[in-house]
Amino acid sequence: MSTGSGHRRLLAIGLDSAPPEFLFGRCLPEMPNMRRLVEGGVRGVLRTTDPPISIPAWAVMFTGVDPGTLGFYGFRHRLHHSYNQNYAPSSTLLPVPSLWKILSDRGRRVCVVGMPPGYPPPPVNGYYISDFLTPGGAPETTYPPALAKELEARYGPYRFDVTFRATERHQLYRDIVAMTQQHFAIAEELYTRERWDVFAIHEVGTDRLHHAFTKYFDPTHQDYQHGNPFEHVVEDYYRIVDQSIGRLLSLIDDDTIVFVGSDHGSMPMSGCFCINQWLVEKGYLSIRHPVPAGTPLEKAPVDWSRTSVWGAGGYYARLFFNIRGREPEGSLEPAQVPEVRARLLRDLAAIPGRDGQPLSVEVLDPHQVYQQVRGDPPDLMAYFGHLRWRSAGSLGHPTLYLRENDTGPDDAVHSFEGIFLVYDPKVKDGREIAAQPIVDVTPTLLELLGEPIPGHIQGRVMPGIRPVARTSS
Ligand SMILES: [Zn+2]
């Protein structure tokens, strides 16, 4: 992959949540276009962020800095030190430029379809369609704004997402397919409008398929039933994704490098561990009277004067100390925090699983895992059962171990293993290389495009991404 020869372009395809076991494994026989990329490119496992959640993972993939440096710790952050005010990360909160912005600023022509964090749609030297986190009724969903109307006239209302935790499954599958086909149809049309230097598309349908159908197609899920009507839905869907990718690939020229990536993998969910209920049982969190099952913490009568620690649910548990002078009704003196923290870590480590064996709780301190800690980080981050157990923040359940998600049906959780693939039409390769960190994607793509790598980028160029030089003796 010579970077000095000619003007290289990039087509980046982001498949949210697509796990290596499916994209490079079970579904590959159904995917002739992906097979062509695999057989000609370099690929491997992409080790995702802590935590393995779409935001921050996509943001890290396409900025080259870690989640703490971005101040993105998940889908929700508490506003400063409030107890129940939250905000979602957005494109305007990015403290460093994305790959698209870096190249835009260098005069390259850029078109981005739905890549997170993409709301509000960032101004680029080209087009940007906002992402799946676009709020309903958002006034502007494209840059430039006029593009939205033009696309809607031709393709109908843009399908930002599906409601995967509420819709009946037959309808949901049709919705996911319609969304994916619409995104790729729009991408195809935009792709042919000019010779883009950089073109990127993100597809969230892959993530929705795994969340909504894993128990139907994955025999290792605890509720899998052989012979169910959705047993082959994963092959069917990935075949459709592959056809869409194939149509885009038919439009590229030999100067276009293709990147395919996923922000994390997916695996069956075992259940939810009720973190706040456990904190109540252990005396860290105090509520004034019992509450009905499923009561969110925000609606519970918390006695903050007798609360030292509380948590928030999701793929992982965010844990917060209730510190005097920091929280509105802080109860812990700052000098008490180290002792409470040490006791909490011991208690977390001793949590048994539903089967009586240790649950396996991994606790991370943002200040120890990130190069910088910006924004509103949790004090501690806890993963339960290697993330096969979600964290439920609600209270009043008859058990600490829920079989189902407390915020709507969900079959899957995220794994640390996403994928990457780089395909250069000018190079015959076909290697699988060792797992690479997600923070390395942006510097690697800049290098392949022959572009300088800005000094603030923390990732490095993936070693082994170029073909081994064949030296003649
Ligand atoms: Zn994701």
Q: Are residues 242 and 310 in the same domain?
A: no
Neighbours of 206 (CB within 10 A): 25
Rounded to 10 degrees, the C-alpha dihedral 401/404/405/407 comes to -120
Q: Does residue 292 have a cis peptide bond before it, meaning omega lies within 30 degrees of 0?
A: no
Q: What is the pTM of this model?
A: 0.95
- Residue 439 in any domain: the answer is yes
Distance 411 CA to ligand 1 centre (A): 15
- Residue-range definition of the domain harbouring residue 256: 9-268+415-448
Spacing, Cα 396 to ligand 1 middle (Å):
30
153 & 289 share domain: no
Number of domains present in the structure of the chain: 2
Residues with CB in 5 Å of ion ligand 1: 16-17, 54, 207, 263
Instruction: Using the mean position of ligand 1's atoms as its centre, give its distance from the Cα of residue 147 in Å.
Output: 26
- For ligand 1, the distance from its centroid to the CA atom of residue 349, given in whole angstroms, is 28
250 Cα to the center of ligand 1, angstroms: 27
- 191 and 134 in one domain? yes
H or E stretch including 198?
strand 198-203
Q: Which of 381, 409, 437 is the last residue of a domain?
A: 409
Question: Does residue 257 share a domain with residue 210?
Answer: yes
**What are residue 271's DSSP bridge partners?**
389
Q: With respect to residue 293, please indicate whether it lies within any of the assigned structural domains.
A: yes
- 277 falls within a domain: yes
Final residue of a domain: which of 380, 409, 438? Answer: 409
| Domain final position from 409, 425, 459 | 409
Residue 137 lies in a domain: yes
* Residue type present at position 301: P
**Contact status, residue 23 vs residue 34, Cβ threshold 8 Å:** yes
Q: Render each residue's pLDDT in the chain as its tens digit; 473 residues.
A: 444 446 899 999 999 999 999 999 999 999 999 999 999 999 999 999 999 999 999 999 999 999 999 999 998 899 999 998 999 999 999 999 999 999 999 999 999 999 999 999 999 999 999 999 999 999 999 999 999 999 999 999 999 999 988 779 999 999 999 999 999 999 999 999 999 999 999 999 999 999 999 999 999 999 999 999 999 999 999 999 999 999 999 999 999 999 999 999 999 999 999 999 999 999 999 999 999 999 999 999 999 999 999 999 999 999 999 999 999 999 999 999 999 999 999 999 999 999 999 999 999 999 999 999 999 999 999 999 999 999 999 999 999 999 888 878 889 999 999 999 999 999 999 999 999 999 999 999 999 999 999 999 999 999 988 865 444 43
Q: Are residues 207 and 261 in the same domain?
A: yes
54 CA → ligand 1 middle, Å? 3
Whole-number Å distance, alpha carbon 430 to ligand 1 midpoint, is: 26
**Residue 197, domain member (yes or no):** yes
Residue 60 identity (one-letter amino acid): V
Residue 415, H or E segment: strand 412-415
Cα 211 to middle of ligand 1, angstroms? 10
Separation of CA 38 and ligand 1 centre (Å): 22
> Is 89 in the same domain as 206?
yes
Q: Ligand 1 centre from 62 Cα, in Å? A: 14
CA 233 to ligand 1 centroid distance, Å: 19
CA 431 to chain centre: 26
Distance in Å, CA 412 to ligand 1 centroid: 12
Measured in whole angstroms, how far is the alpha carbon of residue 396 from the centre of its chain? 30
CATH number for the domain that contains residue 106: 3.40.720.10
462 in a domain, yes or no? no
Q: Let me know whether 322 and 235 are in one domain.
A: no
How far is ligand 1, taken at its centre, from the CA of residue 204, in Å? 7
Q: Please tell me the distance between residue 14's alpha carbon and the centre of ligand 1 in angstroms.
A: 10
Q: State the pairing for strand pair 431-432/42-47.
A: parallel
